[in-house]
Structure 1
Amino acid sequence: MAFGGFNQGGGQAPMSEINMVPLIDVMLVLLIVFMITAPLLTHGVKIDLPTASSAPNQEKPETVALAIDASGQLFWNDQPLADSELDARLAVAAQQEPQPELHLRADRDTRYQKIAEVMSAARAAGVQKLGFITVPAQ
């Protein structure tokens, strides 16, 4: 690599190239070192582990669909439900093992106060899982 040119005029700019040869040499030395030492680091110890023959039985909890229409009427699994019976049904559901999931569906025009009362009653009864069911926009 020549650093000079044939014309001896002034105003030569400094060289702005990076010399890659030393970097490549270092990389190749490191590659060889890692190739030699890597097999030495992968030693294993043989251990006889016990095998499990049974899998845990996971029961899926039942779901209770609690619907509220626009007028505030309650429906427990699509069966009409009086407001006075709600607390008793929620208490029975909360005592079951595993506890069922309560899916709450409300009409678009349902007052939020009614939804909040149902959620409060579920919490007071001890229901742990409460989900909202919505219909996606079409």
Structure 2
Amino acid sequence: MTGPSSTPRGEHTPAPGATWQTRLARVEQLVDGDAPDPRPNRQTRRALARSTEGKAMTEQQATTAYFIQSRPAPDQPWQRATGVNASWESKAKALERLAARRQMQPGWEHRLMERITTITEQPATEE
């Protein structure tokens, strides 16, 4: 069991603004759909190289789905419509639905999102 310290330390009250006056700001960047994918950082590239080392990939399948996100004002977060879990494989159909959503809710912002899912099939180890 330890006794009291010979040099007790009192509570330290932080300076004003250090905690309770701090404002969090969202930093989002909208990337053009035609822009090339950014190059992964070094740590990610090395991890990918380690994970595929010595493995022969036999087949990759990619699927693309489109869905709509909306928000009532620019300072609000983007979200999918509540209760709506629709997505489309056809970009043309998704653009039609986006135009319809913009007519239904003209005061809101709407954007088309693209989800690309890649499935890799490869031989499994028998260990």
Aligning the two structures, in what range does the TM-score lie when normalised by the shorter sequence?
A: under 0.3
* TM-score (structure 1 length as normaliser): 0.25
* TM-score (structure 2 length as normaliser): 0.27
- Larger strand proportion, structure 1 or 2? 2
**Larger RCO, structures 1/2 (Cα 8 Å, 6+ apart):** 2
Greater CA radius of gyration, 1 or 2? 1
